[in-house]
Amino acid sequence: MPDELSSSDRANRSVICAGDSFARRHIGISDEEQATMLAEIGYSTLDQLIDAAVPKSLRDSARLNLPAAASEAEVLAELRQLAALNARGEPMIGLGYHGTITPGVIRRNVLESPAWYTAYTPYQSEISQGRLEALINFQTMVGDLTGLPTANASLLDEGTAVAEAVAVMRRTVRGHADRVVIDADCLPQTIAVVRTRCEAVGVDVIVADLSSGLPVDDFFGVVLQFPGASGVVRDHADVARAARDRGAMVTVAADLLALTLLRPPGEWGADIAVGSTQRFGVPLGYGGPHAGYMAVRAGLERTLPGRLVGVSIDATGAPAYRLALQTREQHIRRDKATSNICTAQVLLAVIASMYAVYHGADGLRGIARRVHRRAVQLAAALRTAAGVGLVHDAFFDTLLVRAPGRARAIVADARRQGVLLRLVDDDHVGISCSETTTGAHLSTVFTAFGVAPGVGDPSAPDALPAGLSRTSDFLTHPVFHRYRSETAMLRYLRRLSDRDYALDRGMIPLGSCTMKLNATTEMEPISFAGFADVHPFAPAADGYARLVADLEGWLAEITGYAKVSIQPNAGSQGEFAGLLAIRAYHRSRGEADRDVCLIPASAHGTNAASAVLAGMRVVVVASRADGTVDLDDLRAKCEEHSHRLAAIMVTYPSTHGVYEEGITELCDIVHAHGGQVYVDGANLNALLGLARPGWFGGDVSHLNLHKTFCIPHGGGGPGVGPVAVAAHLAPFLPSHPLHPDPGRRAGVGPVSAAPFGSAGILPISWAYVRLMSGDGLVAATRAAVLSANYIAARLAPHFPILYTGAAGLVAHECILDLRPLTKATGVTVDDVAKRLIDYGFHAPTMSFPVPGTLMVEPTESEDLAELDRFCAAMIAIRSEIEQVANGDWTVESSPLRGAPHTAQCLVGEWDRPYSRQQAVYPAGVTGDKYWPPVARIDQSYGDRNLACSCPPPDAYAS
């Protein structure tokens, strides 16, 4: 009843946001709560707090020029209209992207379930057992199908997976020329992504037709596609053997559905298999997000990029899952990094693995056989057509059809009738069959080729080469047999998600990760058929074109840059794209020698890793005791490397959660030496609407739409990492050989397999901006800063706040320093993180950017009750630490070390020096508590006994 608000209420309301209904639901704090919080911090208005926290020199007084806020109903209507603008058509284009049917039980209960999509990356394994099991199913599925023993838990897409495989081969093989050979029948976008990545680090790429043997030049590795982009199924065993005889390694990019019928690469000489799992139930989404995969032969497991889920044991000896071989990621090792992948594609990997659980080996084989029979039927009919021929006789799902001079007309005709074919050139058409291909689609293709419907021998023999039939079993583990009824599947999904702690249970206060609301209205459109079922190379996707143009424009406005590309499909890829732009810019000016990238000591690991990938040398800039970048050291490093200086990568606000006063000066110093300033925008949630990196000195930034712009984390992906650049860098944004705009096909090259990366989830961020408008976004930033400062103020008496800026304030997150307590009592950050589980919380970010600390980021979406519940838990834990300090408990026998406590630990003998109540219902915990499914997990046991596929059923016997 807004009419009944008093005028002072209204004035108050307008401080947080101007009465808009969605923004008020996105932001957790009410006006009364705001007043309470400000009082706690010691300010009387939010304006005063913001003015005191954010340096004046950065503040931007201009209003964001964004459309006025729309209601949730209006936004859904607008997105329906945009979706309808995408020309639909049955995707028979192939090239690594295929029609697929997401089983309804998986779509609704995984893709559309907040229990799955709002989870974070499973670093806290005790509260992530559900998604870890789903991921180990994924690894088992990939390993089985490829015939290789160890697979990781997803990569970003097929193109980047191949590029990662090239990097693994290059590191592993010694004493060969810095050259890789790629079969010409690999997917064109894969070849382009590999070229981009190789060019940056000086690896020579030879693209050659390997059907006639290997080139004479020396090389460290070979990449093959199986089946080929042309559809041909060729026996590559001889090429693989010849390559290995010459001391090189072999990567095979393989289609997992084809591998249910064909001999897997692991059985004919591949060291590495990579590819996409998209056609296992993951919607096309105009190119992504989809889970890429990588599997390796024995001996290479420690070179795998990305995350690897392994089996270990918990404190009671029971098997439990956790991320293996990494405190965070084994490959992101600053300047020794071998890959920059951080956010991967967990949600999509979960969907693909569940597709395999749902169908089992028989079901997958059945789908593959139906797909193959469609292609055989098509081939039989086309063979009868006048003036048409098949280029290859051995194929799985894809035909390459010769139709001299007629290809364009045929493709256009099929398109008019609702079927999308691939125009290879004026004389050739590519046709791919998939799970969604029907007899009616085939009839359309027949008509386009001038073949009478019903022609073609339906009993024509299979077209798979006899010697390449699969004989080995796969998916024999019980998990791929047990859940075939929908009831069983539904309960399996529910059981797994119940084990996990996601945003639908409570706050996830992870610093640097911005775990904010992922609103239902933002999520709904990704399931609209007009967005979900569009092939990345489909023509006339006008709705997507507008969506991308809007979003790129809005992000340019928000960041103060000239141009944005949404192609990068994670923050790390945005960093890489930004650095490539810097590199290309220096080269365009004849300064190819500029290869030094300055990185502050506190930077996120991906920064240095991306610099290495971009062929730059990392030089670390020291921090001062107060956590700020040491400008004297910066000056010295700039002097030292002046002529070689390419860039500085700096996060703002810093990874210490502070608005540093010196940022404009920092930019000036680097610019004076001819360097470019890369502002890592992962912390934009503290800047949006208050300051623009493009205005305070940045030349380029990436943003994380999966942080600031509401794309859910999905348990560790998907993400979108747009790169934003000033005008002078705009010509060097990512290009793509299959971009719908011919003007953007040539250039720096692609950093993702699809021209618009993870286009399918862009409606989420589009909806967020549209719902919030400029005022709502500013209000969100202000609320995020308020919440972080509130937590800092409440907890400071109990845990020192490590770094603060002017006026003793933090930005949107704060670091709690536990080191003095650890030193005095032996209680570690790990103990506190695990004890928080007993109190019903996901831990804050542990030991980043400073070892031994916790970094808390509440975001604007939490209400005061939840913030207070968190503070109360931290304060209660502090008093438990006090009891250790007092000698009431030893640290080993304390509830901190005993945490987390399972329901099972309450049964039987209780020999701990604290009560059962203290263990599981400490102060403030109610009957609705979250119960962790396992006790503390032994990290090193799992690394000593590396096991990365589903454990045998008897592992659970005890």
Ligand X SMILES: *Cc1c(COP(=O)(O)O)cnc(C)c1O
Nearest alpha carbon to residue 35 among 21, 46, 49: 46
User: How far, CA to CA in Å, does 10 sit from each of 23, 142, 771, 787?
Assistant: 15, 57, 21, 21
CB 568 within 8 A of CB 762: no
Q: How far is the CB of 330 from ligand X (least distance, A)?
A: 15
Q: How far is the CB of 196 from ligand X (least distance, A)?
A: 17
Whole-number Å distance between alpha carbons of 265 and 935: 39
Whole-number Å distance between alpha carbons of 525 and 133: 28
Tell me whether residue 129 or residue 610 sits nearer to ligand X (CB atom): 610
Tell me whether residue 680 or residue 699 sits nearer to ligand X (CB atom): 680
The only residue of 512, 628, 676, 758 in contact with ligand X, by rule CB under 6 A:
512
CB 873 within 8 A of CB 841: yes
Q: How far is the CB of 719 from ligand X (least distance, A)?
A: 4
Tell me whether residue 660 or residue 868 sits nearer to ligand X (CB atom): 660
The only residue of 281, 456, 571, 755 in contact with ligand X, by rule CB under 6 A:
571
Q: How far is the CB of 497 from ligand X (least distance, A)?
A: 23
Give the tokens for residue 513.
Answer: 């990760």
Residue 657 as a binder of ligand X (CB under 6 A): the answer is no
Q: How far is the CB of 657 from ligand X (least distance, A)?
A: 11
Residue 94 as a binder of ligand X (CB under 6 A): the answer is no
Q: How far is the CB of 627 from ligand X (least distance, A)?
A: 15
Q: How many CB atoms lie within 10 A of CB 409?
A: 12
Q: How many CB atoms lie within 10 A of CB 399?
A: 27
Which single residue brings its beta carbon nearest to ligand X? 571
In the beta sheet, which residues pair with residue 183?
A: 208
Residue 329 as a binder of ligand X (CB under 6 A): the answer is no
Q: How many CB atoms lie within 10 A of CB 235?
A: 15
Whole-number Å distance between alpha carbons of 418 and 629: 58
Q: How far is the CB of 171 from ligand X (least distance, A)?
A: 21
Q: Please identify, among the stretches 57-65, 535-543, 568-576, 870-878, the one whose residues bind ligand X according to the rule CB under 6 A.
A: 568-576
Whole-number Å distance between alpha carbons of 475 and 724: 44
Q: How far is the CB of 844 from ligand X (least distance, A)?
A: 13
* DSSP 8-state symbol, 259: G
CB 613 within 8 A of CB 340: yes
Which residues, 6+ apart, have CB-to-CB distance to 385 below 8 Å? 449, 450, 451
> Order of strands across the sheet with 428-432?
389-390, 398-402, 428-432, 422-425
CB 219 within 8 A of CB 256: no
Tell me whether residue 586 or residue 656 sits nearer to ligand X (CB atom): 656
What's the chain's length in residues?
958
The only residue of 682, 779, 818, 836 in contact with ligand X, by rule CB under 6 A:
682
CB 721 within 8 A of CB 570: yes
Tell me whether residue 533 or residue 680 sits nearer to ligand X (CB atom): 680
Tell me whether residue 120 or residue 554 sits nearer to ligand X (CB atom): 120
Residue 758 as a binder of ligand X (CB under 6 A): the answer is no
Q: What is the DSSP string of 689-752?
A: TT--TTTTT-SEEE--TTTTT----TTT------EEE-GGGGGGS---TT-SSGGGSSSS--SS
Region 626-655 residues binding ligand X, contact defined as CB under 6 A: 651, 655
Helix, strand or coil, per DSSP, at residue 213: coil
Residue 572 as a binder of ligand X (CB under 6 A): the answer is yes
Site mask for ligand X (CB under 6 A), range 720-749, x = bound: -x----------------------------
Site mask for ligand X (CB under 6 A), range 39-78, x = bound: ----------------------------------------
Q: How far is the CB of 363 from ligand X (least distance, A)?
A: 34
Which helix (H) or strand (E) segment holds residue 598: the answer is strand 596-600
Whole-number Å distance between alpha carbons of 369 and 351: 22
Residue 342 as a binder of ligand X (CB under 6 A): the answer is yes
The only residue of 364, 570, 814, 854 in contact with ligand X, by rule CB under 6 A:
570
Q: Please identify, among the stretches 109-117, 148-156, 566-574, 577-585, the one whose residues bind ligand X according to the rule CB under 6 A.
A: 566-574
Tell me whether residue 327 or residue 890 sits nearer to ligand X (CB atom): 327
Q: How far is the CB of 845 from ligand X (least distance, A)?
A: 9
**β-strands 398-402, 389-390 pairing:** antiparallel
Tell me whether residue 54 or residue 342 sits nearer to ligand X (CB atom): 342
The only residue of 31, 557, 680, 838 in contact with ligand X, by rule CB under 6 A:
680
Q: Please identify, among the stretches 398-406, 524-532, 565-573, 828-836, the one whose residues bind ligand X according to the rule CB under 6 A.
A: 565-573
Instruction: Return the HEC string of 886-914.
Output: CCCCCCCCCHHHHCCCCCHHHCCCCCCCC
Q: How far is the CB of 302 from ligand X (least distance, A)?
A: 22
CB 116 within 8 A of CB 350: yes
In single-letter form, the type of residue at position 818 comes to: L
Residue 812 as a binder of ligand X (CB under 6 A): the answer is no
Residue 269 as a binder of ligand X (CB under 6 A): the answer is no
Tell me whether residue 37 or residue 764 sits nearer to ligand X (CB atom): 764
Q: How far is the CB of 891 from ligand X (least distance, A)?
A: 31
Nearest alpha carbon to residue 194 among 159, 222, 229: 159
CB 604 within 8 A of CB 653: no
Q: How far is the CB of 655 from ligand X (least distance, A)?
A: 6
The only residue of 196, 567, 701, 704 in contact with ligand X, by rule CB under 6 A:
704
The only residue of 525, 578, 615, 719 in contact with ligand X, by rule CB under 6 A:
719
The only residue of 604, 713, 794, 835 in contact with ligand X, by rule CB under 6 A:
604
The only residue of 343, 567, 676, 765 in contact with ligand X, by rule CB under 6 A:
343
Q: How far is the CB of 97 from ligand X (least distance, A)?
A: 23
Q: How far is the CB of 708 from ligand X (least distance, A)?
A: 10
Tell me whether residue 719 or residue 757 sits nearer to ligand X (CB atom): 719
Number of residues that bind ligand X (CB under 6 A): 15
- Measured in whole angstroms, how far is the alpha carbon of residue 391 from the centre of its chain? 38
User: How far, CA to CA in Å, does 729 sit from each of 415, 594, 619, 698?
Assistant: 38, 15, 23, 11
Residue 444 as a binder of ligand X (CB under 6 A): the answer is no
The only residue of 303, 606, 676, 758 in contact with ligand X, by rule CB under 6 A:
606
Whole-number Å distance between alpha carbons of 293 and 379: 31
Q: Please identify, among the stretches 51-59, 107-115, 564-572, 834-842, the one whose residues bind ligand X according to the rule CB under 6 A.
A: 564-572
Whole-number Å distance between alpha carbons of 311 and 304: 17
Cis peptide upstream of residue 103 (ω within 30 degrees of 0):
no
CB 745 within 8 A of CB 735: yes
Tell me whether residue 167 or residue 570 sits nearer to ligand X (CB atom): 570
Q: Please identify, among the stretches 154-162, 192-200, 303-311, 567-575, the one whose residues bind ligand X according to the rule CB under 6 A.
A: 567-575
Tell me whether residue 704 or residue 902 sits nearer to ligand X (CB atom): 704
Tell me whether residue 235 or residue 335 sits nearer to ligand X (CB atom): 335
Q: How far is the CB of 408 from ligand X (least distance, A)?
A: 40
Q: How far is the CB of 511 from ligand X (least distance, A)?
A: 8
Which helix (H) or strand (E) segment holds residue 314: the answer is strand 309-314
Residues forming contacts to ligand X in the complex (CB under 6 A) are: 342-343, 512, 570-572, 604, 606, 651, 655, 680, 682, 704, 719, 721
